[in-house]
């Protein structure tokens, strides 16, 4: 018996793709080991965790400054998450 796969709508596929991105670990999005370690010390392990953390909370992490924050923003942009008032890079 062969199973027929029911095709997903574009919206469902986009939703599932977004959910997968939210579950990526901070290491999987291309952050340096140092940055990943800083985030993990604060309990930030996934993209979802990162997106629920404010700029001020990130900057309050020891050894986490503007340069590291920029690294985080660029890594998030590469997977489709943009800063407020920022346009996708096309």
The enclosing domain of 56 has a CATH number of: 1.10.150.20
Q: What is the pLDDT of residues 21-30, one digit of tens each?
A: 999 999 999 9
Nearest Cα to 61, choosing from 32, 41, 87? 41
Q: What is the pLDDT of residues 30-67, one digit of tens each?
A: 999 999 999 999 999 999 999 999 999 999 999 999 99
Nearest Cα to 52, choosing from 66, 42, 67? 42
* Tokens linked to 73: 């923003």
Give a yes or no: residue 1 inside a domain: no
The span from the CA of 10 to the CA of 14, in Å, is: 6
Give a yes or no: residue 84 inside a domain: no
Give a yes or no: residue 15 inside a domain: no
Provide the whole-model pTM.
Answer: 0.78
Give a yes or no: residue 11 inside a domain: no
Give a yes or no: residue 16 inside a domain: no
What is the domain range of residue 38? Answer: 21-78
Give a yes or no: residue 29 inside a domain: yes
The span from the CA of 68 to the CA of 31, in Å, is: 9
- The answer to whether residue 17 scores a pLDDT higher than 70 is yes
What domain count does the chain have?
A: 1
Give a yes or no: residue 33 inside a domain: yes
């Amino acid at each position: 018996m062969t199973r027929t796969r029911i095709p997903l709508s574009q919206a469902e596929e986009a939703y599932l793709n977004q959910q997968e991105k939210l579950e990526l670990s901070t290491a999987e999005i291309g952050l340096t080991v140092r940055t990943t370690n800083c985030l993990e010390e604060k309990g930030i392990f996934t993209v979802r965790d990162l997106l629920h953390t404010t700029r001020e909370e990130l900057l309050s992490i020891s050894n986490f400054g503007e340069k590291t924050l920029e690294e985080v923003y660029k890594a998030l942009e590469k997977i489709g998450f943009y800063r407020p008032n920022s346009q996708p890079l096309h």
